[in-house]
Structure 1
Amino acid sequence: MAASATVSSLLRAPPALVSDHRSPPSSCFIRCSVSSPSPVLISFPRSSSRSDFTVPERRKLAATSPLVEYSIRDPTPPESGDDAEPIEPIESLKLKLLSVVAGLNRGLVASLDDLQKAETAAKALEAAGGPVDLTGDLDKLQGKWRLLYSSAFSSRSLGGSRPGLPTGRLIPVTLGQVFQRIDVVSKDFDNIAEVEIGAPWPFPPVEVTATLAHKFELLGTCKIKITFEKTTLKTTGNLSQLPPFEIPRLPDSFRPPSNPGTGDFEVTFVDGNMRITRGDRGELRVFVIA
């Protein structure tokens, strides 16, 4: 409810109603306090001359004017259209999306209700941001991005085409932080994952940073195609002194149809610190600049 405002104005009787300048009628000094939300338009005839009353007479009018009180609400903010709802700022929509995905462990613990809330918040932000066109502004992708949320993680399917080695299917892996490092000059596109690989008791798990190196190209205005090249594994923690080792891409003749080594996604929102993408099966991913 808008706060009420007090408006004071000194209203003079129009000269057409004054029969004698020496005996002018009393004017009305109005303090308005109107509760109606609709704007109130009051029209008064204009004086034909500033010299209708002398200065002493004007002072006398002000001193003897009756005081009437009304309440007027602050005017409602203008709308973009006749029936349009106020447009919510993009920064506010970004905060809403962040609040929805916070605590979901990048989507690994998301329920069906969480998935729907994240989808709704992302669509609102995508609509407010408008269509993405990277043809003349590819620099928006530059940098290292941290994955906050993926709708594919909740189904454990990982969704879409995910080029690289399917190590998670062969040995137990606990996923840590996930990043994307993009270089728009060299067209390098690296998926970086911090993982913990299980080991037989009594040995401790092995902490590894896996870098899946790709090259990328822009298709159309916002579609990105990535082609897998190699995987580099670097141990961390107690085994950080070990050198990294590479696992090259399999030749196409040995590559299974389910792992073609390429994938694509669309960038549906991007600004200086947040990026939203949709995979080739519709999976939603939310990144922030690292």
Structure 2
Amino acid sequence: MIGKSALLETIAGKNRGLLATEPERQAILSAIAQLEDRNPTPRPIEALDLLEGDWRLIYTTSQGILGIEQVPFLKLGQVYQSIRALEAKIYNIAEVYGVPFLEGIVSVAARFKPVSDKRVDVKFERSILGLQRLIGYQTPDHFIHQIESGQKFAAIDFSLDNRDQQGWLDTTYLDENLRIGRGNEGSVFVLTKG
């Protein structure tokens, strides 16, 4: 059985999955599955105090996220999934780097609705793409406060009303500082908090 610390060691140095070879990916997925079998929170969607916060992505198989590195001159910085449990909101925030002074943000805001002990349906509502300097980006929490206060940004800021902008997310492991999720596109996400 692989435990939490072994999983974190296996993930270390893989740059959220960008540097993982195929055998390493398979070993990571096996370690994730073993840890999911020992989830200490059997009803994670009801554990609002554990879900709440700014979670930093440390590993994923999501090509939507990892694909940012495919864009010329762009490098993926920190990626966060911030959950505001009482408001039933999720904010995905990716910091992007490349040309000096043109650091960017790629963000999507969504609402979620619990549909089981582990699953939420997610409806994406708004996307913001812009330069960190023009937006006044400092931290995920500060950025979310700006969004929630109704601030308009000097950025590409548009609503997502299309039915295709929906999905689901299972929380398959949750403790005070580690969360594992699986999405509707088959992607796996490992995130830490604190």
TM-score normalised by L of structure 2: 0.78
Q: Relative to 1, partners in 2 of residues 1:250 and 1:211: Cα closer, same or farther, differing over 3 Å?
A: closer
Instruction: Find the partner of 1:106 among 5, 8, 16.
Output: 16
RMSD of Structure 2 on Structure 1 (CA): 3.0
Q: Could you tell me which of 174, 179, 182 is aligned with 1:275?
A: 179
Shift of 1:228: 1.1
Q: Within 5 Å, which residues of 2 pair with 1:168-247? A: 172=72, 173-196=74-97, 204=100, 206-236=102-132, 244-247=154-157
Question: How far apart are the structure 1 equivalents of 2:10 and 2:90?
Answer: 28
Which moved further from structure 2: 266-275 or 277-286? 277-286
Q: Which amino acid aligns with 2:126?
A: K
Letter in 1 for 2:89: D
Quote the Cα distance in structure 2 between the aligned partners of 1:106 and 1:245. 27
Mapped partners of 1:118, 1:169: distance in 2: 21
Report the CA distance between 1:96 and its aligned residue: 0.3
How much does 1:170 deviate?
10
CA separation in 2, counterparts of 1:171 and 1:118? 26
Letter in 2 for 1:110: A
* Alpha-carbon distance, 1:109 to partner: 1.3
* Secondary structure of the structure 2 residue equivalent to 1:282: coil
Partner of 2:146: none
Where in structure 2 are the equivalents of 1:21-100 lying within 5 Å?
Answer: 93-100=3-10
For the Cα contact (< 8 Å) 1:194–1:209, is it kept in 2? Answer: yes
Q: Deviations over 1:120-169 (max 9, x none)?
A: 111111112267313542332100000000023xxx4659xxxxxx9x59
Q: 1:288 to 1:241 in 2, by over 3 A?
A: closer
Identity among equivalent positions (%) equals: 30
> Following the alignment from structure 2 to structure 1, what is the Cα–Cα distance between the partners of residues 157 and 30?
39
Pair 1:189–1:196, CA change in 2 (3 A) = same
Describe the SS at the equivalent of 1:266: strand
Q: Which has the higher helix share?
A: 2
Describe how 1:141-180 pairs up with structure 2 within 5 A.
141-152=51-62, 156=63, 172=72, 173-180=74-81
Question: 8 Å contact 1:270–1:276 — kept in the other structure?
Answer: yes
Runs (4+) off by over 3 Å: 156-159, 168-173, 239-244
Bigger Cα Rg: 1
Alignment partners' CA distance in 1, 2:161 and 2:167: 17
**Structure 1 unmatched runs, 5+:** 1-87, 160-165, 199-203
How many correspondences in the alignment?
178
Deviation at residue 250 of structure 1 after TM alignment: 4.5
Question: For the Cα contact (< 8 Å) 1:275–1:287, is it kept in 2?
Answer: yes
Q: Which residue of 2 aligns with 1:286?
A: 190
Residue 240 of structure 1: how far off its partner (Å): 6.8
Distance in structure 1 (CA, Å) of the matches to 2:166 and 2:98: 25
